[in-house]
């Protein structure tokens, strides 16, 4: 339709209206009413507390004497301030601490003061208070600039220490006493030579003991804290003239993350005799990039504190010794960089892995420190070249901004095409939207937890649940022998609900324990003892290929066009390469959850967090041995799904249903995050091997690709995932001769499953890796090569589908123009020529994504629409709401079809007794199939009302029409059904259209990379997306933003690490990156500084509801623009070292991979091979 173009800021109109005092067209109150602080709390005086519970006794002393008395009486007591460590140990490690002490009211432990040349920091003072206090000391001048070095170092670390919420409650003492090897603050205390003060009770008195922090850490998590002692304070010495301190940290994610390596370096210099200094000889590795320092300074003292390189926070003693007494010069630092590798000889089996990267970080931090001090000594003069000052450029992030450009339907009455807010938005932000675990427990409800295998492959010898059944509150254990129906789940018959004889991965369910509370169930499940006879395990793609272990068709799957052999023979150039794409955790906010409520005559109601209600009831019915009509599944909403609840959610519902059926009581299962991550499967890791032929002018001629996917131990959806990967191996490029071959690898890992994009992003990434390789081989800009090979209208894909309504050319041109790509590319080149240690990259990357289920039968949808006598409309359809706004769009479709305001339409839930035989909410098809079904149901009702409407005056209100229709006995309820025409590719006959249509998009991303650490920042991203005529621009743009961010995680940050031959420090088959502590998704600090999204104008799609297009999955791959922008920045760094041409870089482009793909004299000095390729879990 001809719409009105709207350009808005990233902030929504709702937020804008609220800020103006308006909301929904009404004037809002300018000021909220003041709520007085309760008088009783104002007068409250703290009291000594002792609270006895079933598991522990809680003490809150008010004085230091009371505290040390408790410590003396209970030597094993745990002091708790923020509960950031003890809480994790209790919940996830099942540690039991019967005595807990809160020292938050003890004055001595909360005092902050400046005394005798040191800053005294109370051990229980929250980190936020310490941060504010130190900031005040520096800003107020109470300590001079030369005295502030140690304080600034602490502030530098606190800036990225966890999150604001954690800093508000966490304390310094906890950070010290836990002795974490990756502590942020302990290296600062070590290098600054801080002193710890302890207190204990002796002969009725409080005695104190001072100890240098360097003597405190004895071994892994073991410290010199004597029986009955408590840490009272930390004394941090202030610095003096010619004393320099600087702290550094590198993590997987900049914000709210634990360190990979953290460091603080301090040197005290003295002015030496320049003539004598010149005679000083220092052995060095002659690192060319080390610039000269101002002369005349000698290192009087050096302390280099590190975390992440040893089993305790530690110092580089050998390097410190080498530095002491030497001149502050490039030769000295060259020698020190090499010596650091001697101090920390990390090997590949070091816990935490990344040994080469961690060694490199230590050296890189030292080089940064050298530049920092040299620049300070020079007083900002030219002693350090400007290009090298980029080594000490501080990370700075201004407030994010953005633009949204789209068309809206100009009609004031028509609901379609309006940027309507998500119908549940206000409930969700207010915390009022209910999810499974928010529901009030049903009468006699029990809670459950799964008993999981602990070995990757083995026969079950014995299961002993006696100890678990004897625990308080436990009502039963149920395993394979307790399943009344068939002990199977899934469509292929290759997966048991509960393992009966053999386990095939760590985390495979063996049984389920049911108890009065969730905690009881979890603890009882841990108490079930299982004996195994272990078998050899295959733990990655390489293992599976070597063993010939494959799922699905053993000969693999092939798509082919033309003659690749002849194509290669005619090419000017042929290159080969390999691209590895790691898996990705779904990390939905709501973990797998279900509630099963038994009824009469074998009935079972399942309230589930699932994308697939129909498969849920089929599985539950089969496991219970009843017909499907006895089982109903209801879904109100999910707290995210992303494909992870398309099939794997079914297992949890079925397990709970077996227990509920056996006990005839409601049973709820809510899986812990670490269990969810370790058991429910992730995005498939892929390895792609490509061979591509092309001419000197850049025209592509032939492509031969072999894809391997890591499926895990059973089929699940791995075959169609591979199909989609093969379908997308061409991306948007016309290549006359293509052969795409894929094999699904069977490994002893949890079955990997659907994830937004469903194999498409992996295939697309391999395609772009080949394109990138060609461009670098030719020395041609990547954007030029891509542009000249774009598909044209009417050309066929490699699976013989004609591309109609092909908008990729328009999207490419518009994105290139809107982003100002050409001018920015020149600015990037200018920046790189002037900056040695920070590099920028910019890249344009397109995408083409096929829309349809690749299984033909799934391309169908249903709906049921009721109109009530007051004119209100209730819609039920086969799709589920997981935050993506599907229900909102369906409300708009219904409102538009019936000609009523959207406020008169409501969707309560998805339920299989209302709309049966539904397809899963997946493949980006839900708006298409369910929207058409809703539309057709509404059309039926509108058609029935038309004769009546024709007899009524024009403008008769809807409510009056409906009311009269009821008395005329007109049916006000209708069922709608829709099947997608002309879709369904057959891999056996190599025929049929693979997709209903294609969605196109282009993104331009610009990044800045810290070459010394591998850290990066996205400066700007521009996206142009073809969404047809948008049903709801606000929701579609939200989906683009979300998909792009999730794609950023996939391609730059999120890394799964499994125990295998490359990660021997992890138990075989175990997932190391369980939970948010080790696995990092993008945070607010990782999104582009400037994000601009445009919906392609005037691009109606004749093959979907109201000429719209699917939106859920297609934009995700556009985040590859960030990956290739990073790779371009890396290339600029490599060129500085004389390294030209193509080079491999696997996905995700983590800080480790970025840094290690930039070999230089520093990496060489610490012994890293120039072609080192970081390990991964594939």
User: What's the gap between Cα 24 and its chain centre?
Assistant: 34
Where are any strands of DSSP class E within 781-854? 838-851
Distance, CA of 933 to CA of 863 (rounded, Å): 5
Burial degree of 433 (CB within 10 A; 0-12, 13-18, 19+): middle
Strands (E), 856-950: 860-867, 873-877, 905-906, 910-911
Q: Where are the alpha helices (DSSP H) in 625-717?
A: 648-663, 673-679
759 close to 552: Cβ distance less than 8 angstroms? no
CA proximity to 1055, closest of 1073, 1071, 1070: 1073
Q: Answer whether 616's CB lies under 8 Å from 633's CB.
A: yes
DSSP 8-class letter at 461: E
Q: State the number of CA atoms in the 13 A half-sphere of 972 facing the CB.
A: 22
Give me the half-sphere count of Cα atoms (radius 13 Å) on the Cβ side of residue 1058. Answer: 31
Pairing mode, strands 57-60 and 99-101: parallel
Single out the residue of 766, 777, 641, 623 nearest to residue 698, CA to CA. Answer: 777
Tokens of 1058: 């499994």
- What amino acid positions are annotated as catalytic residues? 1113
Q: Supply φ then ψ for residue 316, to 5 degrees.
A: -85, 80
Cβ burial of 13 (10 Å; 0-12, 13-18, 19+) is middle
d(CA 428, CA 881): 13
Cα 46 to Cα 272: distance, rounded to the nearest angstrom = 58
For residues 850 and 1102, what is the distance between their CA atoms, to the nearest angstrom? Answer: 15
Q: Do residues 767 and 692 lie in contact, with contact meaning Cβ atoms separated by under 8 Å?
A: no
The DSSP code sequence of 168-217 is HH-BHHHHHHTT-TT-SSHHHHHHTT-EEEEEEEETTEEEEEEEEGGGTE
How far, CA to CA in Å, does 37 sit from each of 31, 45, 348, 787?
A: 18, 15, 58, 64
| DSSP-assigned letters across all residues of 396-454 | --PPPEEEEEEEE---SS--TT--PPPTTHHHHHTT-S--GGGSPPPTT-EEEEEEE--
As given in the structure block, the two tokens for residue 962 are 């409906």
Neighbour tally for 631: CB within 10 Å = 27
Among residues 510, 385, 516, 531, the alpha carbon closest in space to that of 451 is found at 510
Reading the block at residue 521, the tokens are 């169930």
Residues 1162/334, Cβ–Cβ less than 8 Å? no
Report d(CA 851, CA 981) in Å as an integer.
12
Phi, psi of 527, deg, nearest 5: -85, -10
Strands 217-219 and 222-223: antiparallel
Contacts of 109 (CB under 8 A, 6+ apart): 64, 67, 103, 122, 123, 124, 125, 173, 230, 232, 233
Q: Quick one: three-class SS letters along 350-411? A: CCCCCHHHHHHHHHHHHHHHHHHHHHHHCCCCCCCCCCHHHHHCCCCCCCCEEEEEEEECCC
Residue 509 β-bridge partners: 452
Please compute Rg for the chain using Cα positions: 32
């Amino acid at each position: 339709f001809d719409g009105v173009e709207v350009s808005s800021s990233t902030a929504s109109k709702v937020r804008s209206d609220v800020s103006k005092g308006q909301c929904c067209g009404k004037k809002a109150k300018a000021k909220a009413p003041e709520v007085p602080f309760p008088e009783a709390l104002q007068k409250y005086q703290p009291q000594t507390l002792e609270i006895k519970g079933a598991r522990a006794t809680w003490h809150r002393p008010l004085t230091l004497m009371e505290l040390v008395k408790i410590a003396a009486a209970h030597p094993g007591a745990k002091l708790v301030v923020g509960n950031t460590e003890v809480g994790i140990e209790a919940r996830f490690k099942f540690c039991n601490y019967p005595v807990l002490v809160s020292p938050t009211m003890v004055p001595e432990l909360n005092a902050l003061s400046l005394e005798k040349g040191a800053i005294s920091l109370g051990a229980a003072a929250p980190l936020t208070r310490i941060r504010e206090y130190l900031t005040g000391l520096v800003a107020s001048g109470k300590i001079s600039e030369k005295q502030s070095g140690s304080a600034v170092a602490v502030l530098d670390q606190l800036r990225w220490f966890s999150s604001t919420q954690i800093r508000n409650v966490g304390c310094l003492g906890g950070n010290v006493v836990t002795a974490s090897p990756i502590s942020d603050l302990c290296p600062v205390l070590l290098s600054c030579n801080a002193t710890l003060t302890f207190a204990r009770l002796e002969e009725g008195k409080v005695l104190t003991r001072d100890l240098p922090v360097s003597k405190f850490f004895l071994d892994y998590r073991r410290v010199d804290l004597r029986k009955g002692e408590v840490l009272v304070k930390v004394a941090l010495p202030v610095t003096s003239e010619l004393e320099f301190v600087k702290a550094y940290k590198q993590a997987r994610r900049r914000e709210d993350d634990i360190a990979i390596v953290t460091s603080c370096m301090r040197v005290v210099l003295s002015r030496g005799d320049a003539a004598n200094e010149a005679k000083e000889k220092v052995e060095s590795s002659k690192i060319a990039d080390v610039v000269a320092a101002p002369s005349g300074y000698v290192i009087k003292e050096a302390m280099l504190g590190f975390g992440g390189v040893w089993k305790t926070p530690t110092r580089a003693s050998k390097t410190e010794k080498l530095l002491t007494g030497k001149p502050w010069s490039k030769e000295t630092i060259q020698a020190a960089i090499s010596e650091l590798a001697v101090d920390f000889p990390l090997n590949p089996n070091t816990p935490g892995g990344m040994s080469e990267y961690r060694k490199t970080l230590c050296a890189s931090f030292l080089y940064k420190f050298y530049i920092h001090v040299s620049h300070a000594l020079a007083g900002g003069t030219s002693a350090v070249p400007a290009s090298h000052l980029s080594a000490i450029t501080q990370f700075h992030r201004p407030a994010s901004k953005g633009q949204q450009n789209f068309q809206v339907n100009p009609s004031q009455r028509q609901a379609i095409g309006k940027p309507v807010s998500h119908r549940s938005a206000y409930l969700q932000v207010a915390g009022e939207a209910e999810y499974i675990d928010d529901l009030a427990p049903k009468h006699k409800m029990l809670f459950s937890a799964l008993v999981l295998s602990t070995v990757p492959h083995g026969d079950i010898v014995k299961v002993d649940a006696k100890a678990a059944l004897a625990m308080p509150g436990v009502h039963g254990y149920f395993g394979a022998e307790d399943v009344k129906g068939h002990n199977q789940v899934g469509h292929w018959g290759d997966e048991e609900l509960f393992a009966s004889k053999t386990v095939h991965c760590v985390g495979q369910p063996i049984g389920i324990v049911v108890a009065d509370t969730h905690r009881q169930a979890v603890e009882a499940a841990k108490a079930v003892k299982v004996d195994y006879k272990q078998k050899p395990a295959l733990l990655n793609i390489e293992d599976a290929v070597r063993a010939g272990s494959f799922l699905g068709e053993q000969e693999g799957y092939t798509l082919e066009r033309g003659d690749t052999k002849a194509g290669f023979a005619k090419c000017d150039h042929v290159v080969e390469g390999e691209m590895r794409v790691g898996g990705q955790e779904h990390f939905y906010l709501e973990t797998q959850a279900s509630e099963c409520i038994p009824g009469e005559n074998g009935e079972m109601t399942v309230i589930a967090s699932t994308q697939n209600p129909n498969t849920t009831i089929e599985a539950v019915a089969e496991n219970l041995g009843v017909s499907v009509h006895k089982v109903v599944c209801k879904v109100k909403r999910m707290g995210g799904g992303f494909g992870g609840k398309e099939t794997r959610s079914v297992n949890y519902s079925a397990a709970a249903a077996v227990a509920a059926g056996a006990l005839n009581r409601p049973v709820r299962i809510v899986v812990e995050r670490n269990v969810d991550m370790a058991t429910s499967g992730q995005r498939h890791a892929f390895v792609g091997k490509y061979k591509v032929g092309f001419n000197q002018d850049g025209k592509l001629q032939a492509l031969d690709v072999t894809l391997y996917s890591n499926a895990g131990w059973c089929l699940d959806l791995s075959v169609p995932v591979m199909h989609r990967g093969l379908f997308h191996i061409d991306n948007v490029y016309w290549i006359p001769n293509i052969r795409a071959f894929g094999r699904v690898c069977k490994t002893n890992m949890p079955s990997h499953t659907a994830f937004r994009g469903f194999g498409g992003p992996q295939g697309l990434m391999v395609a772009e890796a080949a394109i990138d390789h060609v461009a670098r081989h030719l020395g041609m800009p990547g954007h030029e090569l891509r542009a000249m090979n774009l598909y044209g209208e009417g050309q066929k894909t490699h699976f013989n589908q004609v591309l109609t309504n092909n908008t990729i050319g328009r999207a490419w041109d518009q994105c290139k123009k809107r982003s100002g790509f050409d001018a920015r590319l020149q600015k990037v080149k200018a920046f790189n020529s002037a900056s040695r240690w920070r590099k920028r990259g910019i890249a344009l990357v397109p995408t083409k994504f096929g829309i349809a289920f690749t299984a033909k039968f799934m391309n169908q949808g249903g709906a049921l629409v009721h109109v009530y006598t007051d004119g209100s409309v209730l819609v039920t359809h086969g799709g589920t709401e997981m935050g993506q706004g599907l229900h909102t769009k369906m409300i708009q479709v219904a409102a538009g079809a019936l000609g009523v305001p959207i406020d008169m339409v409501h969707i309560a839930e998805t339920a299989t007794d209302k709309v049966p035989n539904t397809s899963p909410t997946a493949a980006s098809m839900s708006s298409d199939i369910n929207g058409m079904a809703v539309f057709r149901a509404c059309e039926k009702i509108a058609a029935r009302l038309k004769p009546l409407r024709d007899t009524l005056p024009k403008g008769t209100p809807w409510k009056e029409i409906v009311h009269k229709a009821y008395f005329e006995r007109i049916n006000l309820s209708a069922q709608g059904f829709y099947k997608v025409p002309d879709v369904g590719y057959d891999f056996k006959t190599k025929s049929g259209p693979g997709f209903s249509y294609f969605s196109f998009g282009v993104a331009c991303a610009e990044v800045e990379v810290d070459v010394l650490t591998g850290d990066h920042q996205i400066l700007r991203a521009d996206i142009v997306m073809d969404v047809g005529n948008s049903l709801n621009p606000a929701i579609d743009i939200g989906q683009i933003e979300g998909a792009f961010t999730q794609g950023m995680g996939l391609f730059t940050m999120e890394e799964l690490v499994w125990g295998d031959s490359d990660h021997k420090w992890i138990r075989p088959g175990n997932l190391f990156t369980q939970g948010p502590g080790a696995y990092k998704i993008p945070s607010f600090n990782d999104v582009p500084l400037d994000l601009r999204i445009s919906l392609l104008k005037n691009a109606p799609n004749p093959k979907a509801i109201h000429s719209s297009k699917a939106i859920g999955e297609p934009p995700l791959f556009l985040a590859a623009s960030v990956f290739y922008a990073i790779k371009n920045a890396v290339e600029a760094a490599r060129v500085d070292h004389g390294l030209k041409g193509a080079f491999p870089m696997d996905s995700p482009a983590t800080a480790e991979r970025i840094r290690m793909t930039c070999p230089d004299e520093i990496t060489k000095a610490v012994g890293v091979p120039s072609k080192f390729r970081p390990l991964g879990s594939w």
